[in-house]
Chain A
Amino acid sequence: MDGFGSDFSSGAAGSGKMDPGTIMEQVKVQIAVANAQELLQRMTDKCFKKCVGKPGGSLDNSEQKCIAMCMDRYMDAWNTASRAYNSRLQRRERDLTTQLSAALPVPPENRRKRLWSKVYQARGHLAVN
């Protein structure tokens, strides 16, 4: 445990695991994996319901084709929902920004610039790729 604090502070390449860049990598990968698992689970549920009737001895050709199409459509639907949600969030942020700037007194030029840069920073946190 003695190395913990000092490894983190040195940020040395040799410390490997505790380097902030590596931590962020691991965090992103874990989140991506969980996201993919969630997608597959729900997709399997939906496509099984839509494509497989009375379960037989195996998946026949039409069922296989249906499943393939269903997967594509499900991912299309996911992207559509994602865009719709993102638009909604951006609209809300725009409305809030408008309300906020209407409520505040107008500061002098240099303060105004700094306030807006803070808004842009905060907006950056809401943007999702």
Chain B
Amino acid sequence: MSDFNDFSSASASEKAEASELQRMIAVEQQKAQFQAQVHNFTDVCWEKCVDKPSSKLDSRTEGCLVSCVERFIDTTLTITNRFTQMVQKGAH
């Protein structure tokens, strides 16, 4: 009985198929991560940029949403960097 996770007994073609599958699944996971981030951005930026839902998204709101996403990413990077520095200083 060949255990599915026991690659030592798998043939070369089985191994190749399995790693190709892993690669394809990793691609889908990356796409899913991207979409999860977009959900977050939309949530936060809706609060900041959209007042009353109208019949169309006007250019001012569009611009606000785009800037919001960019600045949110910048904020994330700023916090990550500064926090890393703080931790490194604390370690001494």
Question: Which of A's residues lie within 8 Å of B, judged by CB?
Answer: 1-2, 4-6, 8-9, 11, 20, 23-24, 27-28, 31, 34-35, 38-39, 42, 46-47, 50-51, 66, 69-70, 73-74, 76-78, 80-86, 88-89, 125-126, 128-129
The distance in angstroms between the C-alpha atoms of A84 and B57, with both chains bound, is 15
Does B57 contact A77, Cβ atoms closer than 8 Å?
yes
Count of A-B contacts with CB under 8 A? 119
- Give Cα A126 to B31, complex, Å: 8
What are 5 A-B residue pairs whose CB atoms fall within 8 Å in the complex?
A1-B3, A24-B21, A38-B36, A69-B55, A85-B41
Q: Which residues does chain B contribute within 8 Å of A81, judged by CB atoms?
A: 38, 41-42, 45, 65, 68-69
A27 proximity list for chain B (CB < 8 A): 25, 28
Given A9-B14, A77-B45, residue A39 in contact with residue B70 (CB < 8 A)? no
With A4-B2, A39-B39, A85-B38 in contact, is A77–B28 under 8 Å at CB? Answer: no
Q: Contact check, A24 vs B53: say whether CB atoms are below 8 A apart.
A: no
**Interface residues of B, dominant DSSP:** helix
| Cβ–Cβ contact A35 & B32, under 8 A | yes
Given A1-B3, A84-B66, 8 other A-B residues pairs in contact with their CB atoms under 8 A: A38-B36, A70-B53, A74-B42, A77-B61, A80-B65, A84-B41, A85-B34, A128-B30
Cα(A88)–Cα(B75), bound, Å: 14
Residues of B near any A CB (own CB < 8 A): 1-4, 9-11, 13-14, 17-18, 20-21, 24-25, 27-28, 30-32, 34-39, 41-43, 45-46, 49-50, 52-55, 57, 61-62, 65-66, 68-70, 73
